[in-house]
Structure 1
């Protein structure tokens, strides 16, 4: 994208330095005459000067003119010659040049290097780390658009379409034989003017009609317009020009926003009362307007004080006739340290171009749904976006048809306007399910509580595992989105499982394993127990022996480690002797066990009950009159410590 209306808003921090040695080249560069500047710097390099500063500016002269092959050549040499002295901003630009030459693998690598070196406050650092959304995710977006290059495009720059009545207003550097007697040194093209085109019935093509307005066009740049809802007021971008060009203290001519009123009547469209908007300045640029559908807000692009990055999107309230609120920055959800440009607002979304959000290269078009606030911008993917600059998106959301601009290599010239038809894809969503199991035994875990969290940490769904450990969230998760599942159950360590949904509508299976908080804690048949060695009693006795005390001390230590733990004790016998005898003996043993634990300074209320069940809960077939070995009878003589709470 090589036209002034776009680029003169891009006031990059040029990582200041002065090259008195190359004053002519620097003068060209400072005037943004990048073609001439590039020739001068390249001549210096050919003579042997490979200083960091000259390599940077040689690369910049191509980068700011969207010549990614030329920029890559000199940035590549810069990185090779000065690998440890490269500022983060140059790593950012270097990564973009790889996208411009269709080397996405290298682009991803250098995006990560930029992210590691960038200031932590730079929003691009997190976006380009690709921890949440990767370059592959953007490349894999399902296509939604069909594009057609318009008949009105020329070898020059054609861009900035806007609906007007049933026509299309756009900007072009094509010579209409009015003012174009000189070229603009940025790109050696004529200055931009506003033109008018007729739209065919299918809205797929536009035919040039005439110059839009002799009252608005000057011998310098006019471009990017917006209209009030009644189309009686126009807002447009122009050089800071009121009979003569105005420059700041550094000699830079900035852009300004102007308004004008339509003259009703007559055969031709005429405009009058051209006025500067009150938030313009000679010290910064303001341009690229768009008006909300209710006519109450005007959005625009600027590098004014309060900007987050190179250029940001701002908004003012339209209070009354030529009266506006103070500009407000749309904030870091939309704006980054890079370039946010060409906003277009509808009742449903804000569309804008950016190179600060992760994209396919150069400027990409993003969509941010809005209600009371703007949502995280979504890249609209290829083929709408390409590896070069894509911008100036406008759409009729009732028909899903509109226009977009691009300087992709398949166009007719510099910037071209394309018509498009959008076929909205069915929203890609997935159901998350899986199974919860014990990490040691691999047994299923029931009644575990699972909470699904968004990437912002908000709870979006909850569920509980079933008897077989299976779980499923009653929630449609968005594809290509990061979530977390937090799983907890009494006696188990909290588990946090990160996941990223894939690109396919359907189901995603996420297995989860839990580990008990202590190796003595096990789950048997869905019941959490403290597993210690066998508690031996003398025959027909319920006195705690020393060897039994040694095992019970493990329970004591565990209960002291977890002071909120509450248990109940169950004692069992084998089937030998009669039922009443076994029931009474086991109950005495259960209560003796309880008394021993209490004697070791465990509060009595932490043992909910201590009950003997005799031979009523055998765990094998060794019932009365069934011959069994001593070992098999021993399995039934057991004390169980069941965890109620922790």
Structure 2
């Protein structure tokens, strides 16, 4: 469901595009060509040829594990454990989970038993000890609802319910007949009309609320307690006339209607609405003195914010944005306020499970919002979940969702809340961090970051334009943070939150899995090769060096026209003459190994540069740490042709 979509038109200048294309074609062709190096496929080809290393098998296992291919993950983790039976808590746990997901339950249980024995303080082991199906443990805010279909859904879009006079009022697109008619520009949904049905009957026949329906969109109706006034959302259409914005769009407005002599009449747009912005999804405060709604009016923080406006008889105050505590740069919509000073709303800006999630916050005497929490994975799903209403006395209510398994595009579900939300927020923690490229340290916006507790996904977040992510977390708990981005290897980090309020920083650096290279690039960076290891004062290829060179060999095999210039450097220790000779022997040994393994000699050049290419201050006579000297001892595989 797309409840707020704003469509802009981009006009392309064909002449400029043509001119730019000619300029590109006139550039040096060597720099217009690229090679795309898939590191994981290279690792797999090397493993199939018999190369073995812990790093190799960890990367292969993780590549499949994080893509939910548990059979292949188990295959490569098994190879890892054959080399090292104790590679660490995370790999032991992932191996067990991969085995279990692949149907090897007995072996998985054995590994988990060993896991519990080796890592006694890890809560996952303790949970396994208590319950072998601990992955089914419900997250803190979940497991509190009994949910079922509301019994009024069609194969079209049905959403946005309100209860009045023992009837459920809702919006439905069922009368459009098909999905090619009447699409509402602001919501992106098929045009809806208002319907009502008895709340206690399953599969009851719904009736149109004809008095308010037009040929355009109506939705989100709210009755006053006396039943004499309704507020609702409609396209900018009144008395047969359609209003348009400056950009020629028909948006949506909040309307009010009055019941006189048994008929709904005096339908008017509320005075703070406009042809040039949208107002929608009204909700009344319990005392009916305040109207809450969603809008993209001037002053909005994100794509849509939640506002409130005072009601004084038939007049209204100035709309007030509820502020950054509740509104984000994303979408906040479908507010609902209860007599317990709770405000429920849908948002895709607050950390959630995906799409729109339903949240709740506390409203204090001044109207300020605090203690916002996600309602959990019963109400929320990876899809859009919204339009939540609840009776504070019975704890029964309704919400809308386009989750899998529904009857139509959106569906209405009814629920019983069986356990209240834990609102103890004496200890507050924020977990945040910067997502970067491990090689270049460049920030990585638009990275999916997921927070896990006991291997259950709690929340997801897309890193912002500055590469930052942020989660509200509980004090004293251990979490796993997984970062995923196209062309990068998925990475998961573990963090234990302090027992006191504050902020916890967890930066994550991702390694490239797809490496785009061209002439002038160092191919070694695709695999994190900073040096080819040789024994002290020798130039013989060691097993560790052979594994890294095999990665280069694989890329050369996949790209038969690629040519390399291989450069070997030393640090400044020992004499210049000695370092020049040693580095030259090592560069030639590297070339000879590649030639011996099938690379044509005319594709390779190279020599040693000794200490002439220092990358830091560590020249003769300067005191430096070993780590600084190591930066200068490096190998480069410079691409000179593709």
| TM-score for the superposition, normalised by structure 2 | 0.46
Using CA pairs under 8 Å that are at least 6 residues apart, name the structure with larger relative contact order, 1 or 2. Answer: 2
Looking at CA atoms only, which structure, 1 or 2, has the larger radius of gyration? 1
| TM-score for the superposition, normalised by structure 1 | 0.46
